[in-house]
Amino acid sequence: MKYLLYTKAGEVRMYFRLNEEGVELRDGQLFWTERGRERSAWLKDLRSVNLKVNLGGRHQVVGIMVLWFRNGTTLTVFSADAVGRFDAQRSRTYRSFVSALHEAIPQESIRNIRFTTGGMNNNAARFAGALMMAMVIAGAGAVLWNMNKITAEIMIILGLGGVFLIWPLFKLLSANTGETYRPHRIPDDLMP
């Protein structure tokens, strides 16, 4: 079955626009396009599967799957649109693809594959750190500015800022901790 998801050869750290679209599972192989040429790899040759999430817009996350094969090939599959934003249709397609890929891996190969979650090599951790630092500085500035008159309103604003900013960032960072998972129990917090 062909899935209309964006892909990129190699492990992607940053990109401006994704151009390659479409990944297919067929006959124990994975097919994709790289620079206009069709490529393929056997699922039995998978060495590692990594699932992570990244920020994809306002209160939305996008799923990212990185596949490493024994021959050195690496493929990254995204649930996002071409520029990295959340896309509801692609997110549903991505969920189907991730499940189908895990089911299609031959049982005798599963014990030789490393299944991991997250990892701090994505931009979500950098963004979260910068946002938390900005929030701390803004909060400290608000408190210092009103040192003589710390009101309930300031405390409520800081508290709400913590709830609406820190909690989603905490969830994002905890989903990307770099742990292992069982292929028949895909962590739901790593699915967009």
Joined tokens for residue 178: 């770099």
Could you report the per-residue pLDDT of 53-75, keeping only the tens digit for each? 887 666 678 899 999 999 999 99
pLDDT at 189: 80
- Position 144 confidence tier, pLDDT thresholds 50, 70, 90: low
Q: Is 77 exposed, middle or buried, given 0-12, 13-18 or 19+ CB atoms closer than 10 A? A: buried
For 181, list phi and psi in degrees, rounded to 5: -140, 165
- Position 48 confidence tier, pLDDT thresholds 50, 70, 90: very high
Using left for φ > 0, alpha for ψ between -120 and 50, and beta otherwise, residue 53 falls in beta
pLDDT at 127: 65
Highest-scoring range by mean pLDDT, 101-105, 119-123, 128-132, 143-147: 101-105
Distance CA 21, CA 98 (A): 16
CATH of 2-119+178-190 given 1.10.287.3610, 2.30.29.30, 2.160.20.10, 3.10.129.10? 2.30.29.30
Provide the terminal-to-terminal Cα distance of the chain, rounded to the nearest Å.
21
pLDDT at 148: 60
Q: Which of 88, 83, 174 is nearest to 124 (CA)?
A: 174
pLDDT at 110: 92
The answer on pLDDT for 156 being more than 60 is: yes
The answer on pLDDT for 121 being more than 60 is: no
pLDDT at 86: 86
Distance CA 86, CA 124 (A): 14
More confidently predicted of 162 and 102: 102
Distance CA 99, CA 93 (A): 10
- The DSSP 8-state label assigned to residue 74 in this structure reads E
> Which of 57-66, 88-97, 168-177 is least confident?
168-177
Q: Is the full-model pTM beyond 0.75?
A: no
Joined tokens for residue 40: 């393929």
Joined tokens for residue 185: 């129990």
Percent over 70 (pLDDT), the chain: 70
Domain residue ranges in the chain: 2-119+178-190, 123-170
More confidently predicted of 89 and 174: 89
